[in-house]
A = this chain, B = another copy of it.
Amino acid sequence: MSIIKLKNPAYIFESASAVGCEEHKGPLGDKFDFHDEKDKFGAKTWEMAEGELGRTALALALSKAKLRPDDIDVLFAGDLQNQCVASSGGLYSFKIPYVGLYGACSTLGEGLMSASLALSASEDLRRVAAVTTSHNCAAERQFRLPIEYGGQRPPSAQWTATAGGAFLLGRDGYAKIERVMPGTIIDGGIADANNMGAAMAPAAADTIVKYFRESGEHPDDFDAIITGDLAKEGSYLLETILEKNNIVLKNHYDCGMMIYDYKKQDVHSGGSGCGCSASVFSAHFLPLLRSGEFKRVLLIPTGALMSTGSIQQGNNILGIAPLVCVEGVK
């Protein structure tokens, strides 16, 4: 069995999102809790700006819940920067016991899963948090340097979102997490860093096929099946692979296709990054679960496991897609 049923369910009771300028211009722009027109979040460097973005998201979530940092017992966090320094550098000032995660753009799934497992594992924990971020300029400098070289972006390339989300989980809340499923790493044979969607789609398909086979459920049992950042290219591939497995998704949403108007904004195939699914899930999907409009969703953030070094050494980009089943309590 790949699906893990928790002995004690966890509940999301609050969340917050923060984004940059381009994300605020997108179709969900007004839904985000905070945006910075300059993408700097008051910091000196793009890398530190990502840390500030995460700090802002967590501070906002705590403020909305009228809680202080020491009301949170453990913080699960991760990002795309080398050695995840955006998360550690941005969040250490809260002094919340910290568990660092790395699942590339799938880190939101890992974070909600790890947070829920921890709550189920021990009654000592009252509340925990999960935070993930990404920043376009920090990612460009790290993964696409030298930017001055002016490499052309093909249509399959994605735009790393300047975005982040913070999620507070505890013993009560409006959205229940009782079933989670870690992803299995899949090598889809893709070595092109400008085609992450194709590298991640087989992993998302693997997770979805396993979930429905093991659970006996049907895609129509859910209001939304939400992938993280497959974007246009990857979403098409996912739906194609699933159809070959006799699974037709009528209610598939991809956060990478939702965060930008990819026909008008110059983002090629769509958005990506740890913060893409985190900000869209917090700003768009959780309110639908809170209001009762949605009853059940499957959240399947997708990650491309690679580094500039692994690409230069000719390795394939490995995909992973953890799953979290989130159910409205109303």
Contacts and interface: CB of A to CB of B under 8 A. Distances in A.
A185 B92 contact: yes
A99 B114 contact: yes
Nearest to A181: B97
Q: Is the interface of A mostly helix, strand, loop or mixed?
A: mixed
A295 to B, nearest CB: 23
Contact of A182 (B44, B98, B305): B98
Nearest to A5: B124
B97 A183 contact: yes
Nearest to A117: B121
A184 B98 contact: yes
Interface in A293-313: 305-310, 313
B307 A81 contact: yes
A123 interface: yes
Given A83-B80, A320-B98, A121 B6 contact: yes
Nearest to A75: B182
Interface residues of A, number: 67
Interface in A91-109: 91-92, 95-104
Interface in A57-99: 73-74, 78, 80-85, 88-89, 91-92, 95-99
A330 interface: no
A291 interface: no
Interface of A: 1-8, 44-45, 47-48, 73-74, 78, 80-85, 88-89, 91-92, 95-104, 110, 113-114, 116-125, 142, 181-187, 305-310, 313, 315, 318, 320, 322
